[in-house]
């Protein structure tokens, strides 16, 4: 969905920066107590940002064709509305 706004859009830049920060926190999990608290705070803040700010901006500027493209790209990951297909990764088993 980020390409709808473009990688130079300030909200997309913020989201990508937060993704990188979260990835670093998960990679540094060996300091469990410290990182788990930071992950919780960062993840909650990031989810709220995407839900309340970024996705609203995407909805505001996206054309119907762009929404159809997004839906088509993600159709392989669902088996009906709101249902996620079984993942092949053993983590989800």
Query: pLDDT (tens digit, 9 = 90+) per residue, 12-31?
Result: 999 999 999 999 888 877 66
Query: pLDDT (tens digit, 9 = 90+) per residue, 32-79?
Result: 667 788 889 999 999 999 999 999 999 999 999 998 888 888 776 655
* 0.85 surpassed by pTM: no
What are the sequence ranges of the domains in the chain? 2-92
CB 1 within 8 A of CB 55: yes
Is the pLDDT at 92 greater than 60, yes or no? no
Q: What confidence tier does 9 reach under pLDDT thresholds 50, 70, 90? A: very high
Radius of gyration of the chain (CA): 16
């Amino acid at each position: 969905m980020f390409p709808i706004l473009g990688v130079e859009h300030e909200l997309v830049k913020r989201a990508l920066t937060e993704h990188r920060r979260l990835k670093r926190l998960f990679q540094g999990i060996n300091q469990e107590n410290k990182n788990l608290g930071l992950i919780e705070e960062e993840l909650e803040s990031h989810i709220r940002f995407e839900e309340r700010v970024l996705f609203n901006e995407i909805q505001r500027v996206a054309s119907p064709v762009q929404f159809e493209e997004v839906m088509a790209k993600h159709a392989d990951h669902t088996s009906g509305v709101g249902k996620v297909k079984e993942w092949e990764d053993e983590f989800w088993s």
